[in-house]
Chain A
């Protein structure tokens, strides 16, 4: 099916989020949309999916103009969408979720679950993966849930599939799998609209690229364009994809973790006897495949995690018996892994979210009363400094684009004097320009003398930022290596191979990506990569 958007305009009040956007998606094409945070990508997709009524322009399917008054009509017309935040009912099984809202699968007054089961199996098989129709959604990994969403969209005969930042929450392996699925869909003739901030993914799968800036289409690009070219088209200036930083000049110890053990509610050790130091003036990155204890480790440092044994010292003082508030007060800054669950309060305004963990202190309040003017002053400053794209500082933070929400969290945590900054996935959902800025800020924080602990599943980010890299696997600290460590060695360590062995193995067998690192100097190491899919697999 050929999809055409002609002059789509969408306004929120006076603010024009989409300004007469033209775009053509050919049948069987993977069409990537690139754009800064707040450029209007999600808005455009919501218009296409019938969630928003456009203020102007038309949607044309196979030369037929159509209008949608809701997602139901969009689905009926063959448009499916996988939102970044899934819409599955957690307590239902896969098959039950597929049946939901599908008249086709209903008998007289009954749900035809058997039909749904076989539909799930068939669709999944045709895409080359397994999906248990009777698994409950809440027991599935994020990647598997995303596949359920895809199956759900396809089971309604979607011919155009919209994927809005599908890879932001995926592990590299899951990303690989998704990319393979996209390939099969494309072969079957389904068009895909693919939104992502990760340029290498775009270069790997896209057939066509449309670039949106400030609500307008500013051009299209060829997938063979380099990441630097794409980045500058997106942001409208040249972007440094590496990180400029001087060698670290560490001084005293900011964080010292000794023998930390964390149990999950079932009594399973998820962090096993970890000891780790972060010195003032250095960036330590905690690398590892998601779910190997990094999250629990950071939560234990903040004091929100489950019970633990061991000692956590901040600047030489044991904080392991303190509450969260006291830890924050002693100079800890914390960027949680998942902004929507732990970082922001969606219904509160940007102004309020910018002081969520500062509000009880002066000058933000005095005698229990908020200093409203100061809060607003503060908000105007931060919004300006971190380039949060918003029409007003009074808007509920939940109405900001995903990347801009992340900027609010970062702006808040970087707005006071820190001894230690603990940041999980600090740049999740950010565009390349914002990543450049945030990386700069983190390095500046280090140079000011704070210790920085970064948790990232993005190896690129780890390599770009870290002065030292600590690798975790299965709750254990596999080892700590220097920032410039070989990509393959890190990959092996992430699979649990100790440093020496990993080095020996890596010397025998180099992957394409690893070799690219050896040839090129580190600042440009994130440049063109021919086949990231394979690379990441081999890097394991």
Chain B
């Protein structure tokens, strides 16, 4: 029943006497671009502030819902349903077996494979998890950064694709000495991502185009652009729709030798996470970005340029997503393909939400998603559970975290009296 923090924003209730005061038109110096619908910003804020408890709860609940799906999909369990009332014990035994089989397989595929024969194979799942997590974390850091600036950037995919294209080209077309080459690849990918990020940023700052729409459109554009690029002369190789392989000098070195895919990117992403933390918490720019993210009106009154910060934040997010693209082409794939982006761009949104847009949280959430992806494969091969279950788990997690604030914002309902909003109430 308490007041939602967001409704203290310019268009809010208690501001009515000055509600005719313009907040978004052009003309005067340093006007704020027509603002992201405050409702969305508000929803973002409350998603980011969901407590650790909610996050953990969402994961647990997702696993519970997953168990139901496992039961539904398991033929042995279904057959026991036929005589459920005669011998309910059978049902419960079978149900228990199906659920534990699936989740044990998931664990084995994600962390430690106790059934494997060699020591190497036993620990491989964990390294796979981390490998898959690397681009997810990079992109998640980027998306999370924009979330904190109050921007709903869902253009991770386009930023990643452009980064991957530029990175890959530099990687196979140019000839450079070992260390220099990979560094240049990373820079090129970062630049590509930054450009793809800056475009919606500029569109928003200059014309007020909503970033949700522009980034979605760029995602589609980038997909077709990628296909077109792969058809051009510069990217032609023996295999259609696949670029030439990156030079050895342009590849990220493997960390644990040839039998594991884990590459240097894992170290880079941890360093980057720390850098992002520093940027947000310890730098002037980060300070300004956070201020703009929570209350652009106050930021503007304090002399910050909301436009400049919008563009910068989008470009920075693009940089990070572009690096995720570099992880794909210079890390795991070794070449540019038409599906190099996978679902990373979208999973990264979930990862950022789950990590509450904080670097440490994003790293952990990325690893969790990596684990689900790695485990899903083994689960389907060993327990016969559809690998899509993993997708369902991910979706349920997002739904639980993101849905309540979104629904509230769509209908502009006041937030329930959570401890946080209650605390603000006292501000009266």
Residues of chain A having any CB pair with chain B under 8 Å: 42-43, 46, 51-52, 70-72, 83-91, 101, 137-138, 140-142, 145, 164-165, 169, 264-266, 270, 290-291, 295-296, 299-300, 302-308, 321-325, 327-329, 334, 336-338, 340-348, 352, 356-357, 359-360, 365, 368-370, 372, 398-402, 405
A304 to B300, CA, bound (A): 7
Minimum CB–CB distance from B275 to chain A (whole Å) comes to: 13
In the A-B complex, the 3 residue pairs with the closest CB atoms: A307-B27, A84-B428, A357-B302
A401 touches B284 (CB 8 A): no
Within 8 Å CB of B423, what residues of A? Answer: 398-399
Pick out which of these stretches binds chain A: B85-93, B174-182, B208-216, B288-296: B288-296
Q: A140 to B427, alpha carbons, bound, how many Å?
A: 23
Known: A304-B30, A341-B15. 14 other contacts (CB 8 A): A51-B1, A87-B414, A145-B13, A270-B20, A303-B29, A324-B302, A325-B304, A329-B303, A334-B301, A341-B295, A360-B284, A370-B287, A398-B423, A400-B427
Q: Give complex CA distance A343, B17 in Å.
A: 17
Residues of A within 8 A of B29 (CB): 303, 321-324
Q: Can you list 6 A-B pairs, Cβ within 8 angstroms, ordered by A?
A: A90-B13, A142-B16, A265-B25, A291-B17, A304-B28, A304-B31
B28–A343 touching, CB < 8 Å: no
| Interface pair B18/A291, CB less than 8 Å apart | yes
Comparing B4-12, B118-126, B356-364, B367-375, the segment that makes contact with chain A is: B4-12
- Which of B25, B302, B414, B427 contacts A307, CB < 8 Å? B25
Our pick among A91, A323, A356 for the contact of B291 (Cβ within 8 Å) is A356
Are the CB atoms of A370 and B5 closer together than 8 Å? Answer: no
Q: Is the CB of A346 within 8 A of B5?
A: yes
Report B-chain residues with C-beta under 8 Å of the C-beta of A405. Answer: 427
Q: Judge whether A307 and B28 touch: CB under 8 Å.
A: yes
Query: Do residues A338 and B15 form an inter-chain contact, with CB atoms below 8 A?
Result: yes
* A262 nearest in chain B by CB position: B28
Chain B contact patch, size range: 35 or more
Contacts of A145 in B (CB 8 A): 13-14, 16
Known contacts A86-B13, A370-B284, A398-B427; decide if A340 and B21 are in contact (CB<8 Å).
no
> Which residues of the partner chain A approach B427 to less than 8 Å between Cβ atoms?
42, 85, 340, 346, 398-402, 405
Cα distance A300–B5 when bound, in Å?
A: 27
B422 partner residues in chain A, CB cutoff 8 A? 46, 51-52
Determine how close the nearest CB of chain B comes to the CB of A111; give it in whole angstroms. 14
Q: How far is the CB of B311 from chain A (nearest CB, A)?
A: 15
* 8 A Cβ contacts from B7-55 to A: 7-22, 25, 27-31, 45, 49
Q: Are A264 and B21 in contact (CB under 8 A)?
A: yes
A-B contact count (CB 8 A): 214
Task: Evaluate contact between B28 and A85: CB separation under 8 angstroms.
Answer: no
Does B424 touch A at the CB level, under 8 Å? yes
Complex interface: chain B residues within 8 A of A88 (CB): 13
- Do B22 and A265 touch (CB < 8 A)? yes
Interface residue B388 (Cβ < 8 Å from any Cβ of A): no
Complex: A344 Cα to B30 Cα, angstroms: 19
Q: Do A370 and B28 have beta carbons less than 8 Å apart? A: no
**Which of B2, B9, B45 is packed against the most chain A CB atoms within 10 Å?**
B2
- CB–CB B283/A83 < 8 A: no
Minimum CB–CB distance from A356 to chain B (whole Å) comes to: 4
Q: How far is the CB of A236 from chain B (nearest CB, A)?
A: 22
Shortest CB distance A193–B (Å): 13
Q: How far is the CB of A268 from chain B (nearest CB, A)?
A: 8
B428 in complex: contacting residue of A83, A302, A348, CB < 8 Å = A83
> When the two chains form their complex, are residues B291 and A51 in contact, meaning their CB atoms are under 8 A apart?
no
- Please tell me which one of the listed residues B7, B283, B299 contacts residue A369 in the complex, with CB atoms under 8 A apart: B283
User: Is B303 in contact with A86, judged by CB distance below 8 angstroms?
Assistant: no
Q: Which of B1, B10, B426 is packed against the most chain A CB atoms within 10 Å? A: B426
- A345 and B428 in contact (CB under 8 A), knowing A86-B13, A307-B28? no
B61 at the interface (CB under 8 A from A): no
Q: What residues of B have a CB within 8 angstroms of the CB of A265 in the complex?
A: 20, 22, 25
B297 at the interface (CB under 8 A from A): yes
Tell me, rounded to whole Å, the shortest Cβ–Cβ distance linking A13 to chain B: 12
When distances are taken between beta carbons in the complex, the residues of chain A under 8 Å from B283 are 368-370
| Given known A-B contacts A51-B2, A142-B14, A344 and B295 have beta carbons under 8 A apart | yes
B412 contacts A by Cβ under 8 Å? yes
Q: Contact: B282 with A338, CB < 8 Å?
A: no
Question: When chains A and B are docked, how far (Å) is the Cα of A520 from the Cα of B15?
Answer: 37
Q: Do A138 and B19 touch (CB < 8 A)?
A: yes
**Across the interface, do A370 and B412 meet the contact criterion of CB distance under 8 Å?**
no
Instruction: Verify B17–A345 contact, CB threshold 8 A.
Output: no
Residue of A nearest to B30 (CB): A323
Give the residue of A90, A264, A300, A368 whose beta carbon is less than 8 angstroms from that of B20: A264
CB within 8 Å for A359 and B3 given contacts A46-B426, A342-B301: no
CB contact under 8 A between A306 and B428, given known A140-B16, A368-B283 = no
Contact of A347 among B16, B45, B302 (CB under 8 A): B45
Question: What separation, in Å, do the CA atoms of A142 and B283 have in the docked complex?
Answer: 39
CA of A346 to CA of B294, assembled, Å: 7
Q: In the complex, which residues of chain B have a beta carbon less than 8 angstroms from the beta carbon of A291?
A: 17-18
Contact between A264 and B22 (Cβ–Cβ < 8 Å)? yes
Q: Which residues of A contact B12 (CB under 8 A)?
A: 90, 341
Q: Roughly how many angstroms separate A169 CA and B17 CA in the complex, as a whole number?
A: 10
